[in-house]
Amino acid sequence: MTNTKLRSLDDLKQKIEQESSRKAEEKRSVLIVSAGTCGQARGSLKVIDSLEKEIQKRNLEDRIAVKITGCHGFCEAEPNIIIQPNNLFYQNVQPKDAEAIIEETILNGQVIDRLLYREPGTEETTLAGPDIGFYKKQMRIVLGDNEHIEPIKIDDYFAVGGYSAIAKVLQEMSPEEVIEEIKKSGLRGRGGAGFPTGNKWAFSRKAKGDKKYIICNADEGDPGAYMDRSLMEGNPHRVLEGMIIGAYAIGADEGYIYIRDEYPVALKHITTAIQNAEKLGLLGDDILGSGFNFKVHISRGAGAFVCGEETAMIESIEGGVGVPRQRPPFPSVKGLWKKPTNINNVETWGNVPIIINKGADWYAKIGTANSKGTKIFSLVGKINNTGLVEVPMGITLREVIYDVGGGIPENKAFKAVQTGGPSGGCLPAEKLDLPIDYASLIEAGSIMGSGGMIVMDENTCMVDVAKYFLNFLRDESCGKCMSCREGTQRLWEIVDKITTGKGKMADMQLLEELSIAVKDASMCGLGQTAANPVLSTLRYFKDEYITHIKDKKCPAGVCKELITYSVIDENCTGCLTCKKVCPSGAVSGELKEIHSIDREKCIKCGACLEACNFDAIKVE
């Protein structure tokens, strides 16, 4: 029945059943290789190639299958392989390991110890993926299917019950009932602002107009965040299914996916998914004989952060410069080509089929009073288990960073965690027990945002972090509002002055005053939240600002103008390594003699620090 158009709900149900039993009857060992963008960057395609060659060489095609999936979330362990039926988890697999995996593990049933995951600190090994500390506290209701699906195969999505939510909606729910169900679930926008999704849908449903649009915001622009990329790469049909349900509820017959230009793999997978769904009649006219029509187009972003803002995105799809529009009217009333338009983020759409399948009551039991369900975070920066984590709302920052994330590498001290991207803030150690929900994060001076979670240690300078975000924002400000265009520039100039030792104590107050002006006088979210990184670092790390201003020192050793490099005599073995890598000839000393650094010649490039094997370079 592959590729025949599904003409009715019964056809769809039969298809789902057929593919589910095909999966259940799989008798072969399956090697599931994670091959999202990160996996590919770490060589997963070469691993797949060598596994396939090994299987062919031994004529084992009928006993072993290789499955190429999207991201499993555990980026630190890429390329990783899950071996079914036992869920054995091998990490950092290299092409040369293929022979051993086939010979020892598949044919002889032996575990290869060197490929097992070791918990940071204890070095204990774990056999099965779900038992690893990284996965234990996660609740992967949105990302979990990534392991079971070859993203370019629609049949794999059917095999995990995919598109059954469409069947349910078209068979037994009116558009209003769908909206009620989403409202009851408590789902809030996962793109940043956290607006209740059901209410947003209701506005668009009620808006007058014979033509309505929905948009999937896949312009994931926050630096340090890649949740949406991973979902689109690994399970594009989940996003499409959510969109089809949303279009049905709102009464839209056309949708756009506005996808970031920097995501080629996601673009490829979502394009294939649309084509396959069209072939099977899940998109197009008269879907499953229900009379409901819905088409999806792709609109590629062209690299502008502000286009993540709803009205700027609409301008961009219409073909112009992506600058925000004054609201009201809101897009739900007057959006794309002046028609009512509903915009939701990728992860929000991805949650919709689950709510329909499992019910709003089930969903609303997960999380806190005002934040329901799970949230996907990209846990990155100075953290042992870097990766994408999906956790129930209400979990504490400490649990995410230490239990899931395995803590800070090299036993360094935790300094801050940054959430919410350039609109968010940095939270210090005393906030580690904060439960993650929309309200608590705002109260602490940050926001949930789209899900970036960047961990910082003692070697991260908080003034430099504030400068980093301001530099990003002054570059990405579209320039329409003077307060944002000039304000972000001026904020950056002041912080830059502080990092170069030219700051004054009065600058801190000026920063606060200017921040309020930028916030109050800017039209869109970019300007309104632009000052958050400054305000939150001033709130929690004022001492660091003062040290930069008064003592002209950067305690973290980051701000170039305020630091010097020197050799720690006791640790130096005179091995010449730093002398060899120094590009400016600043290191002197002979073999087996203690070296020294000429401060006049030193350009503070950091090469000696990186190269030294004996901790003999000091930055202060």
Site residues for another protein per CB under 8 A: 37-38, 40-42, 75-76, 78, 220-226, 229, 260-263, 299-305, 316-322, 378, 380-382, 386-387, 418, 421, 452, 454, 456, 460, 465, 468-469, 472, 475-476, 478, 581, 583, 605-607, 610-611
Single out the residue of 352, 326, 323 nearest to residue 214, CA to CA.
352
- Joined tokens for residue 478: 């579209």
- Torsions phi, psi for 163 (to 5 deg): 70, 5
CB 3 to another protein: min, Å: 27
CB 321 to another protein: min, Å: 5
CB neighbour class for 410 (10 Å; exposed up to 12, middle 13-18, buried from 19): exposed
Judged by CB, which is closer to another protein: 133, or 322?
Answer: 322
Decide if 240 contacts 280 (C-beta within 8 A): no
Judged by CB, which is closer to another protein: 365, or 580?
Answer: 580
CB 480 to another protein: min, Å: 11
- Between CA 595 and CA 600, with CA 598 as vertex, the angle to 5 degrees is 170
Residue type, 30: V
Decide if 451 contacts 378 (C-beta within 8 A): yes
Rounded CA separation 316/219 (Å): 11
CB 82 to another protein: min, Å: 18
CB 301 to another protein: min, Å: 8
Judged by CB, which is closer to another protein: 250, or 379?
Answer: 379
Judged by CB, which is closer to another protein: 363, or 414?
Answer: 414
Between the alpha carbon of residue 503 and those of residues 45, 487, 550, the distances in Å are: 50, 18, 8
Judged by CB, which is closer to another protein: 260, or 372?
Answer: 260
CB 221 to another protein: min, Å: 8
- Joined tokens for residue 552: 């002209």
Residues whose CB falls within 8 Å of the CB of residue 169, separated by 6 or more in sequence, listed in order: 178, 245, 248, 249, 356
Judged by CB, which is closer to another protein: 372, or 548?
Answer: 548
Rounded CA separation 150/162 (Å): 13
CB 508 to another protein: min, Å: 23
Judged by CB, which is closer to another protein: 198, or 420?
Answer: 420
Judged by CB, which is closer to another protein: 15, or 72?
Answer: 72
Judged by CB, which is closer to another protein: 5, or 297?
Answer: 297
- Joined tokens for residue 391: 């956790």
Between the alpha carbon of residue 435 and those of residues 175, 383, 500, 535, 594, the distances in Å are: 35, 19, 37, 21, 50
Beta partners for residue 125, in sequence order: 118
Single out the residue of 389, 361, 386 nearest to residue 375, CA to CA.
389
Judged by CB, which is closer to another protein: 340, or 381?
Answer: 381
What is the CA 256 to chain-centroid distance, rounded? 21
CB 584 to another protein: min, Å: 9
Judged by CB, which is closer to another protein: 226, or 294?
Answer: 226
Judged by CB, which is closer to another protein: 95, or 186?
Answer: 95
Decide if 384 contacts 487 (C-beta within 8 A): no
CB 512 to another protein: min, Å: 23
CB 76 to another protein: min, Å: 6
Rounded CA separation 193/188 (Å): 8
Rounded CA separation 518/483 (Å): 5
- Say which residue the tokens 């008064």 belong to: 550
CB 317 to another protein: min, Å: 7
Decide if 306 contacts 478 (C-beta within 8 A): yes
- Joined tokens for residue 188: 């809030």
- Say which residue the tokens 């709130």 belong to: 539
Angle of helix 532-540 relative to helix 462-476, nearest 10 degrees? 170
CB 310 to another protein: min, Å: 18
Task: Evaluate the CA torsion angle 325, 327, 332, 338 in order and state its sign.
Answer: negative
Q: How many helices (H) and strands (E) does the chain have?
A: 25, 19
CB 272 to another protein: min, Å: 19
CB 170 to another protein: min, Å: 31
Decide if 616 contacts 567 (C-beta within 8 A): yes
Between the alpha carbon of residue 494 and those of residues 389, 483, 513, 532, 545, the distances in Å are: 36, 16, 12, 15, 12
Judged by CB, which is closer to another protein: 40, or 537?
Answer: 40
Judged by CB, which is closer to another protein: 65, or 432?
Answer: 432
Strands 374-381 and 452-457: parallel
